[in-house]
Amino acid sequence: MPEGLALALYAAALRLLTPLYLLRLWRRGAREPLYRQALGERLGFYGGASTERGRLWIHAVSLGETRAASALVAALREREPGLRILLTHSTATGREAAQVLLRDGDALTWLPYDTPGAVRRFLRHWQPRLGVLMETEVWPVLQNEARCARLPMVLANARLSEKSLRQGLRFESLMRPAARRLALVLAQTDADAGRLRAMGALRVEVAGNLKYDIAVDPALIARGQAWAARLGRPVLMLAVSREGEEQALLDLWVRQPLPRPLLAIVPRHPQRFDEVAALVTQAGLALARRSTWTDEPPPQALAADVWLGDSMREMPLYYGLASVALLGGSFEPLGGQNLIEAAACGCPVLAGPHTFNFAEATELALAAGAAERCATLGEAVTRGLTLCADAPSRGTMAAAALAFAGANRGAAGRMADALLAVSHPTPSPP
């Protein structure tokens, strides 16, 4: 199909779906009120004229991408202290996490829906000097309108799985031109770079993974370790869990002989906190929710069977608490989660068979001895219980995890240099 026809059909379909998209956001806002705020921004409507143009624009769709962007923002500010940033997001967790990154002169808004009118209004209003999309966010209309506006666009910390490449090539009339219009792609790995070139990207450089450069709060790690010492028993944690994994784990857990370690569960999505709490209660286990105390867990929490990590921006605390972490998203065919933060906190990780979204980081962690792979959740629980009873082996894995995380840092500086070079290109000699 010709590119122009494909783009026109895509844009027409999104226009027709816009009312349903807004309705979905409104319904989701019943559980997460931030989704109901500034709905006009989703369509490119703003309250007044932009107060400043020429910001460097970074789009981080959700929480994980925003945390990765924090390392990039810090490196950019080191190189250009007066830099003004425009941050955009698609999810409430991303937008909320971005608040701590803002300085005077920065701006925060929703990414507009990928229709021509919304994108044009967005670009006219903000007039950024450079657009940076984090990880996997390539939008056909946005790329086309940025080209028309002569705005260079960069895909940073870019990753692309084999599955995503196959899916993208089904719509190559849309995705190849969008990838081709990127001024630069900064890929995480050689494998990602090869797949991105296959998708159509012309200029691809391997810069590493920003998530190794994310600063973890040592105070949170220390607090988690102090709570673990108060407990006086090991902690097995399901970290960043996805739907289906919690119930499967609880079914296995209630069959384990007493005494058992404390089981901690930290769901990926905050809207599922109550759902997971109900699953724990239905399993007949005593539950303590992190949200019910402030500084120190009360006596009833110390005696509980399960802790639910129903708080935001405290993953280093949970990794400090845990003796061993089971990697969420890897025990169902969901692609796994980022285990780099766990490694930076010195927490041993047991991964399931499904880690294709973070394949290279997982393989490197396995090779370094920072993580182990288990074929099933049942195998992971058995191995986790063994490690909980084996402090020397846990200590060896923890030391390997810290070494692995430290050895792979540096992507933030490399990406910041590349972005500023695109933003301020070197003049051609006369």
Catalytic sites, residue numbers = 65
Neighbour-count burial for 226-242, b at 16+ CB within 10 Å, e otherwise: ebbeebeebbbbbbbbb
Dist. CA 89–CA 165, nearest whole Å: 23
Dist. CA 339–CA 366, nearest whole Å: 11
DSSP conformational letter for 361: H
Count CA within 13 A, CB hemisphere, residue 255.
8
Dist. CA 279–CA 85, nearest whole Å: 42
Burial category of 82 from C-beta neighbours within 10 Å (exposed 0-12, middle 13-18, buried 19 and up): exposed
Amino acid, single-letter form, for residue 311: S
Name the nearest CA neighbour of 113 among 4, 19, 5: 19
Dist. CA 140–CA 177, nearest whole Å: 8
Amino acid, single-letter form, for residue 69: A
Name the nearest CA neighbour of 290 among 303, 307, 274, 277: 307
How many angstroms from the chain centroid is the CA of residue 226? 27
SS3 for 207-268 is CCCHHHHCCCCHHHHHHHHHHHHHHCCCEEEEEEECCCHHHHHHHHHCCCCCCCCEEEEEEC
Q: Judge if the upstream peptide bond of residue 348 is cis by omega within 30 degrees of 0.
A: no
Dist. CA 142–CA 61, nearest whole Å: 14
Question: In the chain, what are the helix, strand and coil shares in percent, each to the nearest 5?
Answer: 50, 15, 35
Dist. CA 256–CA 254, nearest whole Å: 6
**Parallel, antiparallel or unpaired: strands 371-373 and 85-89:** unpaired
Dist. CA 89–CA 110, nearest whole Å: 5
